[in-house]
Amino acid sequence: MPAWFSYTFFAVAVVLGSTALFFFTLTRGALLMRGAMGRLSHDAAHVYPIYSNMRLIRLVDWQPIISAILLFQYSHLVTIIAHGLRKDELRGKDVLITSCAFGNVIPRVVEASVKSGARKVLIADIIQNELDHAQTKLGDHAGHIVYLKDNAVAMRQPDASVQANVMFFLLHELPHHLKVDALSEAMRVLAPGGKLYLGEFHRPSPWLLRALSWTYFKVFEPYGLALWDSHDPVQQLQAMPGVTCERHTAFFGNFQVIVATKAKQQRHG
């Protein structure tokens, strides 16, 4: 075997191993440490350090890294949401983004909402640093945006107050009992006829991808696997009165965008 091949193989293994260790330490590893120290009781205890420490947020929030984490499907998933918003009748209405996310999803959602005539886009997150960071990406539409420090599982937003709500890869990070609360809050704040756009992981069809994905969740994101079955968001949303769902899957079923519509008028009797 030529020497250059061994060196390249070794270098790639070191880079991949260090990247995995970096992300493990700042995600699951940090939650394990918090659990061991008995510090899991406050509202934001499930939030990884990469979403709370400003230096880490700035370090990780780089579009190529974020796209790679979502297997280069990021842009496609955001496009499904942005197209949906562009078709919605948002004139004079408010749009909510429930929790910040890395990459350009927030600017693209804001842009699509404003072009559809939205009056305001409310951006809610439990971590102030995430809101401050989001603000740095949104100079062009500053006049349309309101930043809210709020908890997705117990929102301070009134009932029926927004016409669209975007939740991008939040659910898989929430402990299971909070997933249900976040979905019911997301539907509560929607006006009749309004839509929830939910980007998430989904159970892939090919067994090899499923095995790799399963391993990823077991190591890095222990709350994510339940979305495949016991906490399938479509089942949970459709169990709510008057909610209908469309599911779009991508990359052999590994990702999904769910569009959940709240009925215009609840049927009685």
Ligand X SMILES: C[S@@+](CC[C@H](N)C(=O)[O-])C[C@H]1O[C@@H](n2cnc3c(N)ncnc32)[C@H](O)[C@@H]1O
Q: Is residue 185 a contact residue for ligand X (CB under 6 A)?
A: no
Q: Would you give the binding string for ligand X spanning residues 34-53, x where CB under 6 A is met?
A: -------------x---x--
Member of 97, 114, 121, 127 binding ligand X (CB under 6 A):
127
SS3 label, residue 174: coil
Stretch that binds ligand X, among 6-14, 167-175, 238-246, 257-265 (CB under 6 A): 167-175
Stretch that binds ligand X, among 83-91, 147-155, 224-232, 249-257 (CB under 6 A): 147-155
Q: What are phi and psi of 83, to 5 degrees?
A: -65, -40
Q: Is residue 151 a contact residue for ligand X (CB under 6 A)?
A: yes
Q: Would you give the binding string for ligand X spanning residues 221-250, x where CB under 6 A is met?
A: ------------------------------
Q: Which of 182, 176, 130, 177 is nearest to 151 (CA)?
A: 182
Q: Is residue 171 a contact residue for ligand X (CB under 6 A)?
A: no
Q: Which of 88, 61, 256 is nearest to 165 (CA)?
A: 88
- CB of 197 vs ligand X, minimal distance in Å: 13
Stretch that binds ligand X, among 13-21, 23-31, 169-177, 224-232 (CB under 6 A): 169-177
Q: Is residue 152 a contact residue for ligand X (CB under 6 A)?
A: yes
Q: Is residue 147 a contact residue for ligand X (CB under 6 A)?
A: no
Say if CB 78 and CB 108 are below 8 A apart: yes
Q: Which of 190, 146, 170, 162 is nearest to 231 (CA)?
A: 170
Q: Is residue 88 a contact residue for ligand X (CB under 6 A)?
A: no
Closest CB to ligand X among 169 and 197?
169
User: Given CA atoms 144, 150, 154, 157 in this order, what sign does their dihedral have?
Assistant: negative
Query: Cα dist. 53→58, 61, 131, 169 in Å?
Result: 9, 12, 12, 19
- CB of 4 vs ligand X, minimal distance in Å: 36
Member of 90, 121, 153, 225 binding ligand X (CB under 6 A):
153
List, in sequence order, the alpha helices (H) in the chain: 3-26, 28-36, 54-60, 63-69, 74-87, 105-115, 128-135, 176-188, 207-219, 233-238
Helix axis angle, 3-26 to 28-36, nearest 10°: 40
Distance CA 98, CA 52 (A): 16
Q: Is residue 258 a contact residue for ligand X (CB under 6 A)?
A: no
The residues binding ligand X (CB under 6 A) are: 47, 51, 66, 99-103, 125-127, 130, 151-153, 168-170, 173
